[in-house]
Amino acid sequence: MKHARPKQSPGKFLPISLSEAKARGWNELDVIFVTGDAYVDHPSFGVPLLARLLESKGLRVGIIPQPDWRSKEPFMALGRPRLFFALAAGAMDSMVAHYTPARKLRRDDAYTPGNRHGARPNRAIIVYTSRLKEAYRDVPVVIGGIEASLRRFAHYDFWEDKVRRSALLDAKADLLVYGMGETPLLELVRRLQKGEPFASIRDIRGTAYVAATPPDAEELLELPSFETVASDNAAYGQSFRLLSGEQSPACARVVVQRHAERFLVCNPPAWPLSEQALDAIYALPFVKAPHPKYKEAIPAYEQIRNSITTHRGCFGGCAFCAITHHQGKTIQSRSEESVLRELERLAALPWFRGSVSDLGGPTANMFGLSCGNKEAGGKCRRESCLYPKLCGNLVTADARSSRLLAKARKISGVKNVAVSSGVRYDLLERQPNYLRELVSHHVSGLLKVAPEHLTDRVTSAMRKPGKACFERFRDSFMKESARVGKRQYIIPYFISGHPGCTLSDMVDLALMLKRWGMKVEQVQDFTPTPGTLSTCIYHTGVDPYTGEKMYVAKTDREKGLQKSLLLYHVPEERKSCLQALRECGREDAAEELFGPGRR
């Protein structure tokens, strides 16, 4: 069935200046958002999404994007809000955005017009809060986004190579919202509108605050103090292990952590959004474009402008990934009708040329999946539904996802729909219909997948499927491609320098790729980011669950050699590869990698 294009009404951006606010008849705003990203009115950008949600509830909302933090004046661009400021560093942790895995300063920023570096400060939530308090000392400041979320407890900071205290204490903000933020913010606004004092609101799920004493909670978990975990690696691992069991909203407790004479108090996570609530968010009147004040392209927007998000959350539980910690393990899927309506709106935009760049989420083939045992799922403390083996309660049926792909192709004005957000190939083994749809219609010659590594010892440390699973997927993909008469290839992504990985492991991986005729163009050097298992192991050298000591490559030189081994086919990397082979006693692999006599 062909879907008719809906009529498109002109969009209206949220105000970023007092003149724009007054043009709406607003002399005062209720909530003002501050963000380290440029203002792109698109649901893939967190701050505009939350701002639109509050606007839909009748609030007067504005955004201050990428203010110059060197003085307080840019933070006064919209005046004093009636309720509070809400700020985020942006879609990325500001330290990740600013520095390479070798701690070298980046020269670009995809969330800034012209891809220019320098539009936001290091540790943006701390700096932004300081400026807001300088401008309006008595106005509450709520911090959120991925930087605040994953730094809410004492955490290892790679860039300073030490354990830092909670970002909430460093920022001196009034409240921290962690996770995706919709439910906590709406509840906060509701209670403030009823007249509750800001300082008395301390029990909202998905929030954290600082207190002089621990709360009188029925169930409470106290982590080792900041001072203890900062000086004792074993205590740091214990703290991580304890906290990992508190990720499920149904069984999480209030968690506290002493910082000197004060306590960081973290309420249980917010409940996952229902399908209806998620549909309502994506039906909000996003303009789907950058604010007209920008005259240069914003790379992050160009990448997602033709994409559609179908769901949020991930139950993969990869050791190095922060998605589960931020979006949650529960898959929250939109309805089929909601996704198709957004496709229709996209197809009606004057600049759309018929190609949807992505239809997916954190993991595309998790759309529509859930736990089949509601009672067991509510009490589950597993961090992954796939590792070490697939949970028997996981529903992996692919009817919803394959049907959505088929219907998306029939939208009037849509010529092709790509799935580029990544798939879990261990799930595809149980999703033959989705695999068939994907290979037949949604791969443009190259399918990107992320095995990250293929030696079982390293993939076990990563909590990823190993070599055998990848080989089965590769064979299935090639057979299905041949069946439909297409020449298609797999582009694998790998991580170098991950905890548990040695130079010899990378030699083994390079040899596998050579034998399979695969050439890797990009290798991601592991970056320890706050909150992940891999970062805990990088810092302590120990698996916090087993107590097993693990090898960790810490020098830039060794990590560089690991990366070079996967780029053995690049002439400029030959010298480094040979050096790596000598250092790990694997010179015998030189001839296979480079040809006879090439040692």
Written in H, E and C, the secondary structure of 418-461 is CCCCCCCHHHHCCCHHHHHHHHHHCCCCEEEEEEECCCHHHHHH
Sign of the CA dihedral running 512, 514, 519, 525? positive
How many whole angstroms separate alpha carbon 252 and alpha carbon 377?
Answer: 13
Which residues are documented as binding site?
Answer: 314, 318, 321
Helices (H), 41-197: 46-56, 94-98, 124-135, 145-150, 167-171, 182-193
Q: Note whether 192 and 198 are within 8 A (CB).
A: yes
How many whole angstroms separate alpha carbon 485 and alpha carbon 479?
Answer: 10
How many whole angstroms separate alpha carbon 375 and alpha carbon 385?
Answer: 16
Q: Note whether 462 and 320 are within 8 A (CB).
A: yes
Which residues are documented as binding site for [4Fe-4S] cluster?
Answer: 314, 318, 321
**How close are the terminal C-alpha atoms of the chain, in Å?**
61
List strand residue ranges (DSSP E) for 472-563, in order: 489-496, 523-525
Residue found under tokens 């996967």: 566
Q: Enter the DSSP assignment of 105.
A: B
291-312 as b/e, with b when 16 or more CB fall inside 10 Å? beebeeebebbeebbbbbbbbb
Q: Note whether 335 and 275 are within 8 A (CB).
A: yes
3-class DSSP state of 149: helix
**Burial of 11: CB neighbours in 10 Å, binned 0-12, 13-18, 19+:** exposed
Q: Give helix 556-566 / helix 574-583 axis angle, nearest 10°.
A: 110
R_g (Cα) of the chain, nearest Å: 24
User: Residue 233's closest CA among 598, 485, 550, 465?
Assistant: 550
* Residue 100 phi, psi dihedral angles, 5° rounding: -80, 170
User: Residue 255's closest CA among 268, 241, 236?
Assistant: 268
How many whole angstroms separate alpha carbon 191 and alpha carbon 211?
Answer: 20
